[in-house]
């Protein structure tokens, strides 16, 4: 999960933070990253999809308010052809 101070949002900080996290994970040998995000959180979904995350499942009523979570994954390893 990434979060940016509401007063500093939409200035590229979330993208930079996520990029740094993913680069760190990749450098440590991580092959796949996964996360949950509220199906209603349009800003975060757009951020994660820009970074290459795809939806692979749903956790129904994952949050206390009953909202569903999307399970999103990003693969680091390249496909060899
Ligand atoms: C999601 C969050 C981290 C984005 O951080 P941010 O610094 O505002 O994001 P950035 O400025 O780096 O924007 C990167 C991309 O995110 C998406 N995005 C950010 N804010 C958005 C908004 N209000 N609506 C739609 N898309 C948005 C866009 O795709 C954007 O790319 P673009 O500028 O090319 O359109 C921020 O909104 C946040 O902290 N939200 C509350 C915490 C939260 O929900 N975290 C995720 C929990 S899983």
CATH of the domain at 31: 3.40.630.30
Q: Which of 33-56 are b and which e, b meaning 16 or more Cβ less than 10 Å from the residue's Cβ?
A: bebbbebeeeebbebbeebebeee
Q: Ligand 1 centroid to 44 CA: how many Å?
A: 5
Q: Is residue 80 part of a domain?
A: no
Q: Is 75 in the pocket of ligand 1 (CB under 6 A)?
A: no
Q: Given this model, what pLDDT does residue 43 score?
A: 98
Using the atom order of ligand 1, give the atom closest to the CA of residue 9: 8
Is the pLDDT reported for residue 80 higher than 80? no
Q: Ligand 1 centroid to 53 CA: how many Å?
A: 14
The chain-wide mean pLDDT, for the chain, equals 95
User: Phi and psi at residue 8, in whole multiples of 5°?
Assistant: -115, 10
pTM for the whole structure: 0.95
**Domain encompassing residue 29:** 8-75
Q: Is residue 81 part of a domain?
A: no
Q: Is 2 in the pocket of ligand 1 (CB under 6 A)?
A: yes
């Amino acid at each position: 999960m990434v979060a940016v101070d509401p007063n500093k949002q939409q200035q590229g900080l979330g993208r930079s933070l996520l990029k740094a996290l993913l680069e760190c994970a990749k450098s440590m040998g991580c092959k796949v990253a996964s996360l949950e995000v509220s199906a209603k959180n349009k800003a975060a979904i757009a951020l994660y999809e820009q970074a290459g995350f795809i939806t692979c499942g749903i956790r129904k009523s994952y949050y206390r308010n009953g909202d569903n979570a999307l399970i999103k994954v990003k693969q680091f390893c390249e496909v060899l052809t």
